[in-house]
Structures are given as C-alpha cells and as structure tokens.
Structure 1
C-alpha cells in the first residue's frame, strides 16, 4: 500500500516458515485480494487508513482505539465492530488451508523471463476494434469446487482496483475461457451500459486502457473455487461479485500480468521516441534481457566495439496460437522446416554514423542486417539472385528493381515475415511483427549490425496496395501479423506528418542534426520493411556470434519427385505439434491449389510433413547426436502410406534449445 515492491517490500518482514518468499509472490497475493482490503469501504485501499487499521487489529487493538484517526472521510464503514468483523472474514479467507493446486495460464501468454507475464496487446484497448476478452485456461482445481468464479482487475497507482470482468457460477468441470466469449458462466454487467457491452462485442468486458507515458500497470486474473453457486444475476456489479466471492470462496488463485502503454497524448508528443541513437552496453543488454528466457549469452567488448548475443532458438519467442505459427501464410514454399537451432549475431556496440544513405548491403540477399531482441536474424527483404551488384554494394540508389525479388510480396515468408531457408533454421525478412503482442513500443525490437536500434513504426496487414505489389509478377494475400498489428503506428509524429520523413534506409534523424544525436530505424509496411541500407559503419563480415546451428548430415529427399529447396505452389495452412502412433510430431500442413500443382500432391487436398526427434525407444536412436524422423503424407486423411526418412545432425542439439520445442523438458 505504501508503494514498496521487490526486496524493499519484504526485507526483515517475512516469517521463518513463510510460503511466499519473494516480493513478486507477495505482490501477487495482495493483488489477488482485490477490493477486500478496502477495510473502510471508501472505494480504495489506502496505506494510512486501511493499512493502519489492519496493522492495529493484528496487534490486538479493538473498539475505538482500533479506528481512531485512521478512517477515511468518505468511508462507508465507521463502526469498530463492523470493521473488526470485516478483517476477521478477510483473515479466515487468507488463512484457510490450500484446497487445490490450481494454476491459471493462457495460450496467448509468453514466458519472457521477467517476473510478470506481459498482457497481450489484443486484450487491451489498443487491440483490434478496441480489444477483446482474454483466452484463459486452468487446471488442478479442488475436488470440492462445484463452481468457479473468474475475475480480472487492474491495479491503479493508488492501490485501488478497476475490474475488467467478473464471471461467476462457472461449472467446476470447465477448464477454459475462450477469447471473446463469457458463455461459460454469468458475467457481471452492472457496471457497463448496454451500449458499452455492445461495443465490446456483446460481452461485459472493459478492455484496460491505462493513461500516461510508459506507465507499467499490473493486471490480475483470479480464479475462485466455490462449493455452491452465488445468488447473483447478470445485473450484479463487480462490487457485488467481490463481496460474494470473498465470503463464499474456498480459495482464490491469482496470476499477475503487466503491460506498458503510451496513450494517444504521449504518442503525439513523441514520449516513446528515443532522444539519441546510442545505447551503452548495459542499456543494450537490458533491452535483450526483456526476453532473457530466450538467450543463452549476452556479451559486450568495449575494446573491439562488439556486442554479441547467442539465443537458444532461432525462431524467437512465439506462442502456439494460429496467429503466430511458423511458416503459416507462405504460398511459395521451398519445403524447408524450422528445426530447433540456436541463433546469434554480433553487432557494433557504439554506432559510427554515416553522413548520408549509401548502397552498403548484401547484393545476394544473404547478408545479416540485424538481430531481434527475441533472437531472430534479420536479412534483406529480397531473395537471392545474381544481379549486377557485387558484394555489399547494393541499396536504394543502385538502379536495381527489387520488386520481382521481394520475398514478402511473392509469398515466400510467413505471417511473421520469416521462413526456413536452406539449412532448415529460421530467419526474418522484415521486422519482428509477432513480438508486438507483448513489446513495449519505446524499446527497440532489434539492433542492426551497425549498432543502430530498430523500432516498430508500422507493419503488417495485406500488401496488395504497396509499391512493389503494383509491378510484381504475383502478390500474396497473406495478412502479415494476422491482422492484429496493422492498425498500430508508433512512428514519430514528425514522420507521420511528413515534416521529418524516414530516409531511404528507413532511418529517422532523431533531432534533425544527423550524427550529433544520431539515427533510429523504424519499420514500415512497404519495402524495405526493416532497413534499406545501413546508416552506420558495420563490423567486419567475418565477425559472427558463436551460435550452434543445427545441420543435418545429409539433405532431405522429401516426397518422391520433390526437390527440397525449390519453391512449390502450396499454401502453408498450419504448423503445430500433435500425436501420431503415440509419438509427438511437429506437423506442417500445406494445401495445393488448382494450378501449378506439384506432381507428388493432389489439387485441393491437404498434405502434411511430420517430423520428430528419435528417443531411446527407437531402433535408430543415437545418444551421441540428435536424429530426426521425417514423414511425408500426401493426403492428411490417409496415414498408412507415408514416405519416411531418418537423418541425424552433425552434432547434438542442446537441451536448452530443445526445451523450446515439444521434445524438451
């Protein structure tokens, strides 16, 4: 209540036999109490009123001395006996034995490595159409729980709570809440008008919309277990539901999430925009450590001006949801798969700015442009080709037409701007758009090889109207970012109004003074998507991070008649894990159309490529390396005629990398 967190909150204040021993755990427990710690009933939990009266009660004070000078002027409870009774009820609820091991989760949550899960953008007012209600799941509820309650509230700066939703009388057998759907129980509608409910998609969900510039707000989901229904109807308010849950629930299990938001005023005033383009070793490290769960090592060397990152997994931090599945959205597929592999990059620590844009990126499309903060290599947007350029001399003024080689327009990258290249890993040909579900827009989404940060400006959506789409031989209809981020525009306000536009490199002149304040790159919906050239000197091309890339001992054959690595005309529809013959496989589903159908597939018939890692039960298992079984299924409904092959890797895939797949621990 006094605003203390982390170590300052718990220092010298925990019992020797405490169950909760970290500041984050204690905060989560307190947040889970919601408005029940508003002892005097004035609508907010205050340190100098509610906090002191609780403290006095625990010290044994009663009657008038319990409440003297600590009751708020606008309190609704004044009587010491009533206040004592309320504290007793609160103590009974918090001291009761744990009746279950319930755990709340969501398929939209990402384990970044921070203390709190980041609340996805879609569940806030900044989401599409003003946001939608969350997808949640839970397990481990008590056998005594015949019914459940589920709430979400935000923790305001003064310690009070604002509820986003309250659902009660959920049958105890239910274990999931679908996105945008409250039909599993009764939702409290008493705090919203019918117009507000209609605007929220017909459900009583008040999407959180924090004010301010970069304000971190905590959002608490709480699952309540009950042994009977609440005698409430849909006209109940959140306060009604809270009062009933506090007195009737068997237990309350919270999970705390967080979100950093910049409101419209903050964005208009460029409060999310960097003041210069140079970051120290500590600052860059902190940006990558926002996603520390992904990274194996982060190092700086001031003497060589190098900053290196090695990440456990090449395809970054993605959920298993359809809107983030790898390969999905590709319509010109070379048959490669995203096998588990490390990734890494070395970039300049301190930028050395150039005076103007120049032609200084890879002509064959293979040169590394940068590295995302969640561990994805970024390459130029155009595909490999033998054009007139040589080495690293291509760029915006080289006279080349890149529209016909634009991997995004041609449908060669997935909904997250990435694909698996020859080598079966994963990399991006645009900005890491699928990171924007959890990312703070004031922080870089990547650092480029020249050490200059890349921020999210705009990206995503369909691209039929982009400049390259007007002249390309074919144009994909993929909705990049699955339509979840195309409405966002975090570009600086002077970029938006055209008074200080991005240059040909997609670089923003931060203060209009060139190399003095420096540059920052911003992503765009049109090519080059990430950057079109470097505005800083890059490191020597031989400087690489020591990532352990997964390499097969031999090429895959694929289907009979297929040349893996050559593009075929199919739509990649899904990429997920599933069971076959009792084993877990990664399953990639592809659908041929009616024209240019590969000889080994059938028009309009779903095909599948399955792969898994062999285990000790397999005859071909080799403990000294990692071996993959591949299955090629021309018709997903016919499972007894798969073509198969088994190929091992040159060296074993590390356990930390496998832990990001269904084949790890």
Structure 2
C-alpha cells in the first residue's frame, strides 16, 4: 500500500512538472498550453461581385462586343447575391461629356438562379436601348476620336419591377422602377477606343462625326455591318412652317425613333433611283425628299407644277409637314445649316441613303460650283467619298435621285397619325389659291398651333401632348379642307 502511494505521488509530481513546463531552474522556455475548446473559424460572406470571362473592371471592352466585331452582348458572371434576391437586372450605359446618358443594354427579370450570361445570350426581358430604340443590345459604336467609358451594372432585386402604363421600358423608366427594390448592385467600368486597321476613320465614324460635330446631340448614330442608322424624332430645333402660302393644312408632329439607314459601303450605279419617299437624311435627323411632293420624278425633265418651293409649300427653312404630319426638307435646309456648330462649306449637311454625303451650295474647299458640274441627281465626283451631292439655289435644289445602289425596301417612312377614324387628318388638301398670314408657334405648355387666313376667314390647327398617353396628342382644328367646322380628337404615333 505504501509503495503504491509512493508511485502515485511520483506520477502526480511528474505530471505537475510537465504541466508547469518545469521549474525556473530547468532552462526551458516553453509555456503552458491552456485547456481550450477547438472551434473552426467562420467563413466570410462572399461579396456581391460582377465579373466577365473576357473583361475586367477598368479594362478594355473586347472588340467582339462592339459594332466593329460581332455586336454581341458581353459574357458576364456574378456571385454573392443577397439571399432575398428574386431576380436580376443588367444595365449598360455611357455618359457623354455633355451629361447625356446613352443606354446600350437593358435586361431585366433575369431569374435569381441564374449567375452568368454567355455572349449574346438573352435571359429575361430586354428593354429599349437609346441608340436605335429597339429592345435589343446596341453594340457600342463610338463617334469621334478618343476613349469612351462604358459601365455595366448588375442589380439584385427583392421583387420584379413594375412599369405601370409605360409603353416603352427605356433606361430612365427601368432605373426608376427598381430604385426602391434594389438589394445590392455591382458594376464593371470598361473603356473602348475605335481605331481601324489602317488608322483611318471608318465610314461609320465619318457619319457619326458629321452629326456630333454639327452639334446635334439629340440625334444618335449606330452601325451594323451594312448601315449607319441616324435616329431622331425628325422634329428640328429651328423655326418651322413659317413663310408657307401653299399649305396642305398638315402640322409637324414628332416621329418615334425614326432610324434612317445610310449605306456604309456605297457603290455607284447607272440605275439611278427616284422614289416617292425620303432619299436621304440631314445631320439633324430630318428626312430629305426631292423637290417634288408628287411621287417619283422624271429626273431628266423638270416640272414646275410639282416644285414644292415654287408652289409656296415650303417654309423659310426649306421644309414642311407631309401627309403624315411629318416634317422633312425638299430644298436646302437653310435654318439647320445656320445653327450648325461646324457650319461652313466643308461641313457635311446630310447623307443620301446610298451612303454618299450632301454638301451645301459650294465645293468643300469653298470654291463655286461651275455651271454643268452637277449631274442629274445634283451630285459630282469626290476625292474622299468617291461621290457627293450638293444643294443649289436652282432646281432641283437638293438630292433629286440616288446615284448609288440602294435597297428601297428598307427605307423608312413616317406613318400617318393613328386614331383618325373620322378622316379629320387624313383628307387634308392645299386650299385653292393658297393661304395668308400662316404662323406656327410652340407654346410654353408644349402645345403647337398653326394659324392662317383663307378668303378673309381664320383657320387653325392646334395640338397638345397627352400626359397619360405617350406619343399621343389632343387635336383641335378648323380647316378649309373639312369645311371650316371645329373638330377635336386624339391622335397617336
């Protein structure tokens, strides 16, 4: 028993010395290890982040995702979305130096179980880009020199966005709808600078520069493989309709995303084209017609009976409203030219749909155009573009026909106003002998009024935009064509 107690005492003594790491005289520097519970460290939550298989934040946008490449929407992936996320929204935009935001890609209602998009893949619903107004990805096609910055933002939402009565889901509409349901957002900032393989400016860039250098920032230009699209509402920012005597009692109403296709690779042809529609577009987005309002021309025989200028049908600016209450030019757009930031003989003032440029009354170097230099279409050879059109003080005044190849099946037309069940706006004709004192004004409340006198009696057409119906207007009119009765109605684009 005694021996067993001695052994226990020795064991406890040894254990105690081990636990204390030895006495002060042992020379040991080891410290006692406290008796603690072993636990695994907590994992940090994954940050909500947007990445791309070929793009990095502050990097370059690959050419494949631009108009110089395949025009596909970028490949994206993301992680770390909040648990409450029910769907995602993707927005790609560029803010120009003048503060205007351009929307290239709007994709919403992307399901919460999706965490990537392949190049060009469409999941969810696409909104309307601001480049051509279509529900599709608009590949960046920057105009002018220098680097452009684009931002792709991914939003994680707590519920699906609601747009009320909005007819179009554009960038402003989408961001407003998701403002109060956004759980988190993450973005990528990308740059892109367009250069051609030869270092020369591409035809797409030349067309874009003709618009931007003229100062028409409300007009957009986008390109695909075959065409540049000059997109506008066709409603110019200059005086209009004043000076007309031969009115057809139409009044200009803004169009909706009029996209004028200008051919990027023009080819001259012996088969000249004359059509009962626009033959080109001015750099402010207003369509250009030939001198006649009567349809296709006999281009080799001028007819004064069809000359809109000679008949007093054009305003002081070379244009008027057509059968669809759409504004367009039939002669030199003098008011537009006067407002151009780059006005001068070397400034391009428009483009034929065949892809050749339109200049003013003089050669680009400022010299006068000699008699007989212009051909039947009102154009001549050009060292830079191969061919160019001109305006002139004598008939045919502007582009009379197209000298290059053109697909007339794709050329745009502004449709007449809808809702005209009574024919109030459909059967207007020029009053015999013309009118007097025609005046067109835009009022502070946004309404427009065109008033005029005919045979001693006053007539008018006035319309106001409706606040609850986009691109719809309330009309009130008293016209010669309809017997001088007062008519009202709602008409829409």
Distance in 2 (CA, whole Å) between partners of 1:435 and 1:114 is 23
Contact 1:372 1:447 in 2 (8 A): yes
CA, structure 1 residues 493+331, in 2 after alignment: closer, same or farther (shift >3 Å)? same
CA, structure 1 residues 537+586, in 2 after alignment: closer, same or farther (shift >3 Å)? same
Shift in Å, 1:494: 5.8
The aligned counterpart of 1:502 is 374
**Which one of 361, 366, 369 corresponds to residue 279 of structure 2?**
369
Distance in 2 (CA, whole Å) between partners of 1:396 and 1:550 is 27
The aligned counterpart of 1:286 is 209
The aligned counterpart of 2:253 is 339
**Which one of 339, 358, 371 corresponds to residue 438 of structure 1?**
339
1:348 has 2:210 as partner? no
**Which one of 339, 364, 383 corresponds to residue 293 of structure 2?**
383
1:530 has 2:398 as partner? yes
Match of 2:435, SS state, is strand
The aligned counterpart of 2:273 is 360
Shift in Å, 1:456: 1.1
**Which one of 635, 638, 645 corresponds to residue 488 of structure 2?**
645
Give every structure 1 segment of 4 or more consecutive aligned residues whose post-TM-superposition deviation is greater than 6 Å: none
1:587 has 2:449 as partner? yes
The aligned counterpart of 1:521 is 389
Distance in 1 (CA, whole Å) between partners of 2:241 and 2:221 is 28
Shift in Å, 1:555: 5.3
CA, structure 1 residues 570+280, in 2 after alignment: closer, same or farther (shift >3 Å)? same
TM normalised by structure 1 equals 0.39
For residues 262-301 of structure 1, what are the structure 2 equivalents within 5 Å?
280-290=203-213, 291-295=215-219, 297-301=220-224
- Post-superposition CA distance 1:429-481 (Å, at most 9, x none): 12322112132222210010110000111xxxxxxxxxxxxxxxxxxxxxxxx
Match of 1:535, SS state, is strand
Shift in Å, 1:643: 2.2
CA, structure 1 residues 446+517, in 2 after alignment: closer, same or farther (shift >3 Å)? closer
Distance in 2 (CA, whole Å) between partners of 1:633 and 1:571 is 15
1:427 has 2:328 as partner? yes
The aligned counterpart of 2:460 is 608
Contact 1:335 1:567 in 2 (8 A): yes
For residues 100-111 of structure 1, what are the structure 2 equivalents within 5 Å?
none
The aligned counterpart of 1:156 is none
The aligned counterpart of 1:576 is 441
Distance in 2 (CA, whole Å) between partners of 1:428 and 1:496 is 22
Give structure 2 stretches of 5+ with no counterpart.
1-95, 100-200
**Which one of 440, 459, 474 corresponds to residue 629 of structure 1?**
474
Shift in Å, 1:349: 0.8
Distance in 2 (CA, whole Å) between partners of 1:548 and 1:517 is 29
Contact 1:608 1:634 in 2 (8 A): yes
TM normalised by structure 2 equals 0.52
**Which one of 543, 553, 566 corresponds to residue 410 of structure 2?**
543
Match of 2:338, SS state, is coil
Distance in 1 (CA, whole Å) between partners of 2:245 and 2:421 is 23
CA, structure 1 residues 446+505, in 2 after alignment: closer, same or farther (shift >3 Å)? same
Shift in Å, 1:527: 1.3
1:396 has 2:299 as partner? yes
- Post-superposition CA distance 1:483-519 (Å, at most 9, x none): xxxxxx5665664455x722222112235xxxx9611
The structure richer in helix per residue is 1
The aligned counterpart of 2:419 is 553
CA, structure 1 residues 301+563, in 2 after alignment: closer, same or farther (shift >3 Å)? closer
Match of 1:415, SS state, is coil
Shift in Å, 1:369: 0.9
Contact 1:340 1:550 in 2 (8 A): no
- Post-superposition CA distance 1:353-372 (Å, at most 9, x none): 23x6x64212xxx2321011
Distance in 2 (CA, whole Å) between partners of 1:316 and 1:584 is 15
Shift in Å, 1:634: 8.1
Contact 1:556 1:564 in 2 (8 A): no
Give structure 1 stretches of 5+ with no counterpart.
1-112, 117-277, 319-323, 386-391, 458-488, 598-602, 616-622, 636-640, 651-665
Distance in 2 (CA, whole Å) between partners of 1:346 and 1:577 is 30
Match of 1:310, SS state, is strand
Distance in 1 (CA, whole Å) between partners of 2:400 and 2:273 is 9
The aligned counterpart of 1:70 is none
Match of 2:291, SS state, is coil
Contact 1:327 1:572 in 2 (8 A): no
**Which one of 297, 311, 315 corresponds to residue 235 of structure 2?**
315
CA, structure 1 residues 451+351, in 2 after alignment: closer, same or farther (shift >3 Å)? same
- Post-superposition CA distance 1:173-210 (Å, at most 9, x none): xxxxxxxxxxxxxxxxxxxxxxxxxxxxxxxxxxxxxx
CA, structure 1 residues 492+335, in 2 after alignment: closer, same or farther (shift >3 Å)? same
Distance in 2 (CA, whole Å) between partners of 1:575 and 1:625 is 23
- How many matched pairs? 287
Distance in 2 (CA, whole Å) between partners of 1:347 and 1:410 is 30
Distance in 1 (CA, whole Å) between partners of 2:489 and 2:263 is 41
For residues 133-172 of structure 1, what are the structure 2 equivalents within 5 Å?
none
CA, structure 1 residues 610+353, in 2 after alignment: closer, same or farther (shift >3 Å)? same
CA, structure 1 residues 584+367, in 2 after alignment: closer, same or farther (shift >3 Å)? closer
Higher Cα Rg, which structure: 2
Match of 2:447, SS state, is strand
Shift in Å, 1:588: 1.0
- Post-superposition CA distance 1:575-604 (Å, at most 9, x none): 11337xxx6631212122xxxx3xxxxx1x
Distance in 1 (CA, whole Å) between partners of 2:446 and 2:285 is 25
Contact 2:475 2:491 in 1 (8 A): no
